[in-house]
Chain A
Amino acid sequence: MRNRIREQRRQRGLSQAELAAALGVSRQTVISIESGRYLPSLPLAFTIARFFDLTVDKMFDPDDEETGA
């Protein structure tokens, strides 16, 4: 699952720690989500999408290679 969190975060000039504080998660979790090592829960995915004023499907794209679709 690919996502646009890093791109959106950099566009807004936020650090990972600032984004983590805004989302109510740890900096390590932001790093894990950005790198695709951790898939956030649905509530957290919505929180992330709303924070960046995007929809969830715009924020997260299924990665064909990883999902095997």
Chain B
Amino acid sequence: MMTFISPRLRKPAMYALAGLLFAGAWLVHGGRLWWVSIPAVILTAYHVVRLYRLGGTDTDEGARAGSRADERQQLVSLRSRALACNLTALTSFIGLTVSIAVWASWGWPFLVTLLITGYGYLFGLGNYGVAEEGTPDDEDTEHDARFPLSS
């Protein structure tokens, strides 16, 4: 579906969708706080417009916002997300440990987050090729792989 949307509109569209879902949740089940959906929509609209304008600028942030990042910009983004995931896992571990130490019932979100990040890491290892051990060259070939130049 994303291929039908202009690259510059992709990120703003995603933020608009997320913001409208958040606002809709407040409107439907917010009770007396239903009005929170109004500032949520306003903030979403502001952020979407800001993101769209940023996507037109000749900067690294603009390239990411406009979904036209090249390999270096994608690498920077990937490293930043990896750092964010590390911090999330660390924070979750600390939160879970503290909740156990004080025997509190609010520790389960930390446990869920820790499990998701841990599973995501293991899934990534398996998905991105760490499991492809292969066989040594010596077992695959009849030639002497150690001394290819010897006759």
Contacts and interface: CB of A to CB of B under 8 A. Distances in A.
Interface of A: 24-29, 32-33, 38, 40-41, 44
Contacts of B58: 26-27
Nearest to B70: A25
A28 B71 contact: no
Nearest to B60: A28
B111 interface: no
User: Top 7 nearest A-B pairs by Cβ distance?
Assistant: A25-B70, A29-B72, A38-B72, A26-B70, A29-B70, A41-B71, A26-B63
Interface in B46-104: 58-60, 63, 69-73
Contact of B73 (A24, A29, A33, A41): A29
A25 B58 CA distance: 12
Given A29-B71, A32-B72, A38-B72, 15 more contacts: A25-B71, A25-B72, A26-B60, A26-B63, A26-B69, A26-B70, A27-B58, A28-B59, A28-B60, A28-B73, A29-B70, A29-B72, A29-B73, A33-B72, A40-B72
Contacts of A33: 72
A27 B63 CA distance: 11
Most buried by B among A27, A28, A33, A38: A28
Interface string B100-128: 00000000000000000000000000000
A40 B69 CA distance: 14
Most buried by B among A24, A25, A40, A41: A25
A68 B27 CA distance: 61
27 contacts: A24-B70, A25-B70, A25-B71, A25-B72, A26-B58, A26-B60, A26-B63, A26-B69, A26-B70, A26-B72, A26-B73, A27-B58, A28-B59, A28-B60, A28-B63, A28-B72, A28-B73, A29-B70, A29-B71, A29-B72, A29-B73, A32-B72, A33-B72, A38-B72, A40-B72, A41-B71, A44-B71
Contacts of B69: 26
B89 to A, nearest CB: 28
